[in-house]
Amino acid sequence: MTGTWIAVLATAGGCYALKLAGLTVPRRLLGNARMRRFAELVPVALLAALIAVQAATSGQSLVLDPARLAGLAAAVLALALRAPFLLVIVVAAGTAAGLRALGVA
């Protein structure tokens, strides 16, 4: 049990240190044009990866969950129609929930 507590607190400390490290990176490092471009593009790469992983995987396997995919497709449609943010997520969640309630997916 003590070992588990040490693991819990070490994980917490390590995760916090990483978050703080990113925020405290010296400004002159970000003054470099390529470094700035990397910092701009990294959230796009990571968030796009998260979207894909949350949409199409479960654990270490690729899954096709029709309700999840339909919800995401509805979000894409709403975005293409320039719907505001909250409407996009309501439409996405509502589509997935509706399909599951109907037992379709």
Partner 1 sequence: MADQPEQEAGPASPGSPLASPPPISSPKAGQPPAGSRPARAPQAGPSPAGPSPARPVRDGLVLGLAVGTSGLAFGAAAVGSGLSAWQACALSLLAYTGASQFALAAAVASGGGLIAGTAGAILLGSRNALYGLRLADLLGVRGGKRLLAAHGVTDETTAVALAQPGAAAAAAGFRATFASLYLTWNICTLAGALGAGRLGSPQSLGLDVVGPAAFLALIWPRLRAGRTERGVGLLGAAIAVGATPLLPAGMPVILAASAALAGTFAPPGHESA
Binders of partner 1 in range 11-70 (CB under 8 A): 11-16, 18-25, 27-28, 30-31, 33-57, 59-62, 67-68
Ranges within 73-102 binding partner 1 (CB under 8 A): 75-76, 79, 82-86, 88-89, 92-98, 100-101
- Three-state SS string over 9-64 comes to HHHHHHHHHHHHHHHCCCHHHHHCHHHHHHHHHHHHHHHHHHHHHHHHEECCEECC
From the CB of 77, what's the least distance to partner 1, in Å?
11
Q: What is the largest CA-CA distance in the chain?
A: 56
2 touches partner 1 (CB under 8 A):
no
Q: Decide whether 51 or 104 has the Cβ nearer to partner 1.
A: 51
- The residues, ordered by sequence, that sit 6+ positions from 79 with a Cβ below 8 Å of its Cβ are 88
- For position 103 contacting partner 1 by CB under 8 A, the verdict is no
